[in-house]
C-alpha cells in the first residue's frame, strides 16, 4: 500500500502537477513536446517496484515479529525520520497547521495505517502476499463507491469498472479461489483494509489538511504508528516479545519497509505528484499487484489458484478502466476550464 505503501504513503493531498508544458516549482512537468522528464520514469519505477515489494517484505517481517508491532515500529520510526527530514529540508514553518488540519491528518493516518496497513499485516499471517496485493488493488473501486454515495456522479465506464472489480473480488472468494494456504477470514480483513485505506484517502480530499504534503505524511505516519502500537499493546502483542527472538530476515524486512517502503517510495511519489500527470502516477494502482504476485512466486514460492489469478486479473482490468476513465474526464475538464491538474484522489 501507498504508505508503505504507502503506500502508499499515505494519500497526500499535495498540489497536483500542472498541465502539459507548464512550470511546476521552476521545472517543467511535461515538456512542450509531450514527453515526460526521464526522471519521472525513474521515480515511477521506484514506486512500482518498491511499493509492489512491500507485501512480500511484510510477510517476511511478521514471521518473527507480531504483525501490529511490526507495523507500529515501521511507521513510528519512518514518521520520526520524516519529521527530521522536513525540519532539515523545509524548516519548522512547514509543520505549521491549524488544529483542524492536524486532526484530519491524524485521522487519515489512523485509517490508512492502522485500518489499512495494520489489517494487511494481520491478514498476511494466513494470506499469500500476492493475493493480499490483489485485494488491496480495490482501493480505487471503493473510492468510486464513495463518490456515488456523495452523489459525485462518476461516468458510466468508471461505475462499470467498479462493478467489474468487485465481481473479481467475488470470484476470488469462491470455493477454491483463495489460493494455496489462504484463509477466507483473513482475506476478508484485507478487503476491509482496502476499504479503510480508501476512507482515509477520501478524508484528505474533503477536509482541511496541512499545506505541505511532507508535513501531512509526517503527521499521518506518527499518528498511525502510535495508534498501531497502542492496539498492539491492548492485544497483548508485546507480551514475551524479545529482540533476540527476531530473525535476521525479519529485521532486514522491517528496515526495508521503513527506509524504502515508507521514505524512499513516498518521496518519489510526492515528487511525481508535482511533475507528472495524475493519470500516469495512478498507474501504480495496477502495476504494484502484478509486481507483488511475481515476487511472491519467485522469492516465497507462493502459488495462487487459477480462480484467484482470474479474479485478480479482473480486478486489475477494472482498476485500469477506472484510472483511465477518470484521467480522460480530468483532462477534458482541464481543457474546458484551463485549470491545472487536479489532486490525485485515485492515486491516494
Three-class SS state of 27: strand
How far apart CA 29 and CA 244 sit, in angstroms, is 48
Per-residue pLDDT of 36-68, as tens digits, reads: 678 888 999 999 999 999 999 999 999 999 999
Q: What does the pLDDT read at residue 75?
A: 96
Q: What does the pLDDT read at residue 1?
A: 58
Work out the average pLDDT over 23-29.
40
The length of the chain, given as a count of residues: 348
Per-residue pLDDT of 110-129, as tens digits, reads: 999 999 999 999 999 999 99
Alpha-carbon dihedral sign for residues 123, 125, 127, 131: positive
Per-residue pLDDT of 98-107, as tens digits, reads: 999 999 999 9
Per-residue pLDDT of 272-295, as tens digits, reads: 877 887 778 888 888 999 999 999
Q: What does the pLDDT read at residue 10?
A: 37
pLDDT beyond 90 at 328: no
Instruction: Select the more confidently predicted residue: 339 or 149.
Output: 149
Max CA-CA distance within the chain? 62
The dihedral formed by the CA atoms of 198, 203, 204 and 207, expressed in degrees to the nearest 10: 170
- State pTM to two decimals: 0.83
Instruction: Select the more confidently predicted residue: 304 or 92.
Output: 92
**Residue found under cell 509486481:** 291
Amino acid at each position: 500500500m501507498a504508505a508503505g505503501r504507502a503506500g502508499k504513503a499515505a494519500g497526500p493531498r499535495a498540489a497536483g502537477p500542472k498541465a502539459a508544458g507548464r512550470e511546476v516549482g521552476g521545472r517543467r512537468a511535461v515538456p512542450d513536446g509531450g514527453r515526460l522528464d526521464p526522471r519521472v520514469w525513474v521515480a515511477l519505477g521506484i514506486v512500482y517496484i518498491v511499493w509492489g515489494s512491500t507485501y512480500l517484505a511484510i510477510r517476511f517481517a511478521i514471521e518473527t515479529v507480531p504483525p501490529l508491532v511490526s507495523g507500529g515500529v515501521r511507521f513510528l520510526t519512518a514518521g520520526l525520520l520524516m519529521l527530521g527530514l522536513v525540519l532539515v529540508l523545509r524548516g519548522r514553518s512547514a509543520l505549521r497547521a491549524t488544529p483542524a488540519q492536524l486532526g484530519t491528518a491524524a485521522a487519515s493516518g489512523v485509517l490508512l495505517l492502522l485500518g489499512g496497513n495494520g489489517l494487511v499485516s494481520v491478514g498476511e499471517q494466513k494470506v499469500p502476499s500476492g493475493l493480499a496485493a490483489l485485494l488491496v488493488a480495490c482501493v480505487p473501486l471503493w473510492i468510486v463507491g464513495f463518490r456515488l454515495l456523495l452523489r459525485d456522479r462518476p461516468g458510466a465506464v468508471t461505475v462499470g469498472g467498479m462493478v467489474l472489480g468487485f465481481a473479481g473480488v467475488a470470484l476470488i472468494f469462491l470455493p477454491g479461489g483463495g489460493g494455496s494456504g489462504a484463509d477466507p477470514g483473513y482475506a476478508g480483513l484485507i478487503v476491509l483494509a482496502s476499504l479503510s485505506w480508501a476512507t482515509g484517502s477520501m478524508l484528505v480530499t474533503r477536509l482541511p489538511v496541512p499545506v505541505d504534503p511532507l508535513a501531512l505524511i509526517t503527521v499521518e505516519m506518527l499518528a498511525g504508528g502510535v495508534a498501531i502500537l497502542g492496539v498492539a499493546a491492548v492485544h497483548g502483542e508485546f507480551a514475551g516479545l524479545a529482540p533476540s527472538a527476531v530473525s535476521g530476515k525479519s529485521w532486514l524486512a522491517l528496515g526495508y519497509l521503513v527506509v524504502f517502503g515508507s521514505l524512499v517510495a513516498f518521496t518519489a511519489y510526492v515528487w511525481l505528484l508535482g511533475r507528472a500527470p495524475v493519470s500516469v502516477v495512478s498507474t501504480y494502482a495496477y502495476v504494484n499487484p502484478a509486481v507483488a504476485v511475481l515476487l511472491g512466486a519467485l522469492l516465497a514460492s507462493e502459488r495462487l489458484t487459477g480462480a484467484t489469478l482470474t479474479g485478480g486479473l479482473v480486478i486489475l482490468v477494472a482498476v485500469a478502466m477506472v484510472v483511465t476513465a477518470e484521467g480522460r474526464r480530468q483532462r477534458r475538464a482541464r481543457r474546458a476550464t484551463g485549470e491545472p491538474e487536479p489532486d490525485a484522489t485515485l492515486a491516494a
